[in-house]
Structure 1
Amino acid sequence: MDQVVDHEFEALLTYLKEARGFDFTGYKRSSLSRRVDRRMAQISVAGYGDYLDHLQVHPEEFTTLFNTILINVTSFFRDPEAWEFLRSDVLLPLIAAKPDGSPIRVWSAGCASGQEAYTLAMMLGEMLGPEQFRERVKIYATDVDEEQLGEARHATYGAREVESVPAGLLERYFEQVGDRYVFRKDMRRSIIFGRNDLVQDAPISRVDLLTCRNTLMYFNAETQARILGRFHFALADGGALFLGKAEMLLSHGNLFLPTDLKRRIFRKVTARPMVTSGPRYADQPSAPTAEALVGLDRLRNAALIAGPAAQIVVTADGLVALSNQQAEALFGVSPRDVGRPFRDLDVSYQPVELRRYIEQAQVERRAVDVPEVEWRRPASETRYLDIQVSPLVDGDAGLLGVSLVFHDISAAKQLRADLERANRELESAYEELQSTNEELETTNEELQSTVEELETTNEELQSTNEELETMNEELQSTNDELQSINEQLHHSSAELDGANAFLDAILSGLRAGIAVVDPDLRVRVWNRQAEELWGLRAAETVDQHLLNLDIGLPVDHVRPLIRRSLGGETDVEEIQLQAVNRRGRSITARVGCSPLRDAAGVPTGCIIVMEAMPAAGTAPV
């Protein structure tokens, strides 16, 4: 079943590749995502998008993440039975078959902290002796983890780490310094540690033995096949490949045959016939050597390599045969990619899917043009390419391969766009000029009309000015009248203020609490004795409904008296009610009502008299 693609996770892997050069896209997604999830949980980050942001802000996080992904588990003489078989059935026959004094090259891929490389050194040292070992043996130990390589270069290990080294070998090859064991320096010089990414870096070449134990299992099937192709190139004819217990190679019989399947030791199959141009890696040029070229051949090769347009040549079976300098600058296609399947290169699908155009050119035996392809590269300006896919045939019309030529038309497209924009701006300016001319003509006519209107307006203004003078005289007369009225109002206001003060003095002089309500039972007057009796100030009662006031008097029992007074009755009898005064004491309140009439004798409100009855033997409150 196909795995569901997590786009945020894929974006994280792409960022790791572009930012730090670690290409994990070939790793198995299940194991890779588990290790990334473990690191995210340690720093409490929930999603892959958030973790990518965290990496951008905290670059020191890369080291911890890579250590989490690249779990390095190794030891001296791990799986002793397999190492013994390697010694007796692989290395001894290999050394015997080599001429005296000839070099022995070994590659320990994925060496982690170096135990496997030093195990190989001890084994070969026992077979050849220290002197022959120093003269003949080179062990190349590589890994992608710089921190682990640093530990390996120091060649020092603790007592627990050397427990699996036989006592005799420990004594001969290690020097104890304090509580650490240091590998002997004279043989250490024959072991070369370096960083190498199995997915994208060129392999070590012409090696007799290649050990890569329990490393391939972290990659998916397609990436494993690519790495094994590089291993096949790296090994000399008859060379041996030593893998870990978890790795089988059952589906790669065209590259390796098992020497001992149980112990995971394989022999290189003799190289298949290949096209003349591939595969090539670090120590093999991407084009024929200068010695093999004469005359026009040398000139044609130099012209292709230095050509102004990027060019890639693909063989009939889909392998990269040749690329020039412009292709390397534009797409990163380097000599180490020669011999790789074209479909494995990013350029095969970015910026456009090229494989279908290659197939079309091969089938139809004609050139296929792909015009104006837009290519947006991260942290770079957008480019536009015209791509020409041309079949390469021999004299008998047999298909040799396909040539891909990429013409950068970004400058021309930009000039064309600038020209089109300039034409549009010119047309727009011409239209604006015509419009402006018409507007000026219209404006001229409007100005003539405006002059005539201004003359008419001037006459109207003169007439209006005369009218305004007349109105000004009338307003002055009106102003005098208003001044007189204002003085009268001021006098009336003073009289009203005096009346109000006189009324307040009368109400304040009464011993009883007085409240005056309108026909809607809203309080209009609330004297000081009412404040003293019930604890509510006039500001809290005036304009409030009497029945809504929270006082100690049960006002519902007063409502019938008020209604009768508002109806015009003058002999409304007083009532006595149990109440609570402002001090919270129970009192007997005497309440009486009388109508408030206007000049015509119509009731306009009600006067409520409230008085606390004195207790026996006390004066009235």
Structure 2
Amino acid sequence: MTSPEIDLQFEALLNYLKHNRGFDFTGYKRSSLSRRVQRRMQTINIKQYSEYLDYLEVHPEEFLHLFNTLLINVTTFFRDRPFWDFLSSEVLPRIIAQKEPDEPIRIWSAGCASGEEAYSLAMAFTDLLGAEQMQRVKIYATDVDEEALYHARQATYTAREVANVPPDSLANYFEPIVSPTDGEVSSYVFRKDLRQSVIFGRHDLIQDAPISKIDLLVCRNTLMYFNAETQAKILTRFHFALRDGGYLFLGKAEMLLNNVTMFTPIDLSYRVFTKIARVMLRDRLTLINPISGGSITTPLSTHVRLREAAFDNGPISRIITDLNGNLALANARARSLFGISPRHIGRPFQDLEISDRPIELRSRLEEVYRGQKIVYVRDVTWHSIEGETSYFDIQVALLTDVAGNRLGVSISFLDMTRHKRLQEEVEHSNQEVVVAYEELQSTNEELETTNEEMQSMNEELETTNEELQSTNEELETMNEELQSTNEELQTVNDEFQRRSEELNQSNHFLESILTSLKGSVVVLDRDLRVQIWNQKSEDWWGLRAVEVLGQHFLNLEIGLPVEQLRVHIRNCLNGISEPLNEVTLPAINRRGRSLKCQITCTPLIGDEQVRGVILLMEEQAK
């Protein structure tokens, strides 16, 4: 639980990043963002956001570390393989089939991180088109992280990073790099000829204008880091970027439950959506202002919203067709009455049920276009699905602009049901009129009650869906954070393993030296405890290394009068040099043979200090 003061400090930090470094994180989800910032603050031992803001002002190099922590660049080749299989088998063939043989194919990989996703797209299209046709394909790979883009342009990946690439694709699309030291494959480079199809560039989804005329837009597990308002505005930009009928490919934590007017699912389980054509002018105007700037307040946008609200909330059911005979608009009453949904917008009017029911309207449209500006059709009976009968007067009118140019046709349905019923009721007795009115009133109240209940249930379901979606996005965000941390730990573990191998090699090398010496070598610390006891020492004195390591040398019972070495060892520890520290003593080895043992005491130097003594024992030649 955070206090208002801490929240204000955090917002001040985000505003500082936005205005001084051009990174706008104000549209990101606060829970994930605060975790990442606190993680960086813990690394440099800072507890308060205000203190960290001061630290950033004094240490500009800290921005790079902070951005690397905030921008979670977790991605792999063909991430979530079943999703990619569906894309390659169902979506990409449709895109290719819709194009002429020489027509370009434009792809946008938004939030591409270190490039694995963009190169996965290149491999998928090459499998379908062949390498000779890849000059048609342009893959625009964008991200806000310059460091990640630099890595992506190099197109060089470790064996662990290409683990998800199928063996056939790895052999066809990557060139191995062999290490000159051990002859093993150290990394893989994506094919240079196919790299020309991928164009990397920095792009901020919140602030920069979208790329246009896109056939496929891939943005996986990126939207989940933004709050709901920012997500909606980014999706409006995506809608503008896509061609009519273009495809949107999202991550497994992203659903688009609240954007049914802009995108419709091809397969919701694989998170593939297609664009719904003819977005409202209001949504297009959001592209003019930066997303972070809030709602549009220009006179034009206000006028557009007023006109839309007046049309949509009008008391008369109204349908508009364009000059091509396609359904262009339908207000709320018409949509509710005739079952018109967003997918019908843009379809030919003659293909819709309303063109022939409750009355044939196609010929009336032709009459209007032939010169009769308004055509009336009266006393039209409409039988709804619920079995109710309604009566309408239909007005078909030509729409023109100020200059008299034709724009389309307006079809208005004036509800005459009540008037019709009143006329019929006048013919009956007054009692029957009262009864009919009471029944009608009761029916209206029941319908209103049912409508309110259904609306309440619908709101509850929408709230539940939004909560589940938010929870799913939060879990996926935490999963990517854990994966990022795991990769960092793996890197540290690899470094530890390398250091351990180097230490083992050094120990084997030292052991080889000690074994190769002809004499006995014993190393003592300053407390005269045995640290090294080589193999020759075992052979001479009959004690194994495990028996003497850590033991006081002067307490060992071997065939050497070790007590006579006390003075020489002390002289060596005190820095008194030869010849006082060389001595020859009679000794008996483990086999009982007598010998003259020449002992040399040498100080063990470390960090310019005497750390111990090295005793070299050799048999004196007779």
- If the length of structure 2 is used for normalisation, what is the TM-score? 0.45
Larger relative contact order, structure 1 or 2 (CA cutoff 8 Å, min sep 6)? 2
- If the length of structure 1 is used for normalisation, what is the TM-score? 0.45
